[in-house]
Amino acid sequence: MRRKIVGSSWKMHITSFDEGSTLSRGIAKRVGQRKDIDIFFLPSFPLIQCVESCFTDTTIKYGAQNVSVAEKGAYTGEVPINLLKELGCTYIELGHAERRTTYNETNEVVNQKARLCERYDIVPIICIGESTQDLDYKIGHTQLRTQIIWALDGVSDEFKKKVILAYEPVWAIGKEKSADKAYIEKTHAFIRQCVREVYGVATANQIRIIYGGSVSPQTASELANSEDIDGLFVGRFGLQAENFEKIIDNFVKGGK
């Protein structure tokens, strides 16, 4: 049985400690004691400690939006994984579409970082998704399959089961509405089938696949009872504690 999980990356939307701590405290107050679902937040690096202190005595976990491929050395501007481990990060996001396009994060780099996460026992949230161009060329599924196989190469079978795959169609990020339910369900089923074919039934049954891309409280209601959708990855619409709570509530309760 896979546990539901809802989390949010703040990307670079939060630009002051004041804003970050107000939001974290609001979230802690509203959903900090929930035990029916896993919850996580990924702030910018300098905000991690602030989030950590606001989430003390809650069930909420936190992590980072990126990490260096190198463990240490002369890599100006990079952040080593050991510091993230010492800060108590449970998760690290890898391969978000914005990082793939703007910062040239390749499948190979995503794979190196995924292997590093295994060494430090930090769960990677690996973003995969097809672009409009992939759809135009009718290679949407090929793109997803390629990203999965690259990302998980050399990762142990045990660790693969812990990994979170975040399906984020590139064309649905930063839009008014998420992709539609039928499309998301079909694609999640494809992703699980792909994991089953390549890594076997046990991994496919345990790996969590979450949806991201303009997730709102409405998306959360729509996707609540879908078999292959284990969670949501929230962006802009989770930047208010009240809204985030609604997303959690709607996803847990769904059509019930």
Query: Can you give the binding site for ligand PGA, defined by CB under 6 A?
Result: 9, 168, 173-174, 212-215, 233, 235-237
For ligand PGA, give the closer residue by CB, 140 or 238.
238
Inter-helix orientation angle 140-152/107-120, to 10°: 40
Residue of minimal Cβ distance to ligand PGA: 235
For ligand PGA, give the closer residue by CB, 93 or 249.
93
* Least gap, CB of 86 to ligand PGA (angstroms): 26
For ligand PGA, give the closer residue by CB, 28 or 97.
97
Query: Tokens representing 71?
Result: 């463990």
Compute the distance between CA of residue 103 and CA of residue 105 in angstroms, rounded to an integer: 6
Residues with catalytic function: 96, 168
For ligand PGA, give the closer residue by CB, 110 or 173.
173
Q: Report residue 149 CA to chain centroid gap.
A: 18
* Least gap, CB of 177 to ligand PGA (angstroms): 10
Instruction: State the chain's maximal CA–CA distance in angstroms.
Output: 54
H or E stretch covering 132: helix 132-136
* Least gap, CB of 154 to ligand PGA (angstroms): 26
* Least gap, CB of 81 to ligand PGA (angstroms): 22
User: Is the dihedral angle over the CA atoms 203, 204, 206, 211 positive or is it negative?
Assistant: positive
Place of tokens 């994991």: 195
* Least gap, CB of 25 to ligand PGA (angstroms): 22
Name the pairing type of β-strands 61-64 and 91-94: parallel
Contact in structure between 191 and 165 (CB atoms under 8 Å)? yes
Q: Any idea of the CA torsion for 223, 227, 233, 237, to the nearest 10 degrees? A: 10
For ligand PGA, give the closer residue by CB, 170 or 204.
170
Contact in structure between 79 and 89 (CB atoms under 8 Å)? no
